[in-house]
Structure 1
């Protein structure tokens, strides 16, 4: 920790004590001198900062809104996935309960069998000629 503190103090001292001398490059118009940095050729270069214009701030807000939108879209997709997964697990748990819904399944299978029997009887009626046909269980006669 002392090494980190020492190095930060040394960097601060370098930036604060070195001032812009004569004959050095100056910052362009609209930019302000903020300090020096050492480049890869071991030369000191000046660091210039500028004030952000309205267009720059607008771009930052647009990029921020886009990133926020993508993050919100991803979070809402995850929440929807989690809710669908929870509901499907609940439905599967209900279907797998033994004996709880036997009455409903029995009623559905009884209705299905009744519909099959009516369909078979209608097939018998339609395959006959236009004679009078009496089918047990059906009222009326075809003629």
Structure 2
């Protein structure tokens, strides 16, 4: 006996979440001193200072079928520790203010900006971590059955 599941020939409506890295890079790049946002250390990085590296590092995932919560780690690299500290403080402040401007929810700084210079080069780096919930959007995903 088969279960009375609906047919998928017209597609399935599901909640799709935005890419958190794309979202946070787009948000930070709008502000002075944070325009260079990378996924990893760029080649010839010393010529690109200051810059921010942002990575997704897990998080609890989808909750309430409406939000996806992710943990993000940030590294703010600069010429000197004052500049990296200021960049990290600005990044944290911008994350906290983000819900006032875009469809994100409850950003929390879970590691305050901390000075941890690069062990190989001594380049000043401030690191911080945050969790942010991103709002999903109902999307119809079309079926390939019968195509």
TM-score tier after normalising by the smaller chain length: under 0.3
Bigger proportion of residues as strand? 2
Bigger proportion of residues as helix? 1
Q: TM-score if structure 1 supplies the norm length?
A: 0.20
- Between structure 1 and structure 2, the one with the greater Rg is 1
Structure of greater relative contact order (alpha carbons < 8 Å, 6+ residues apart): 2
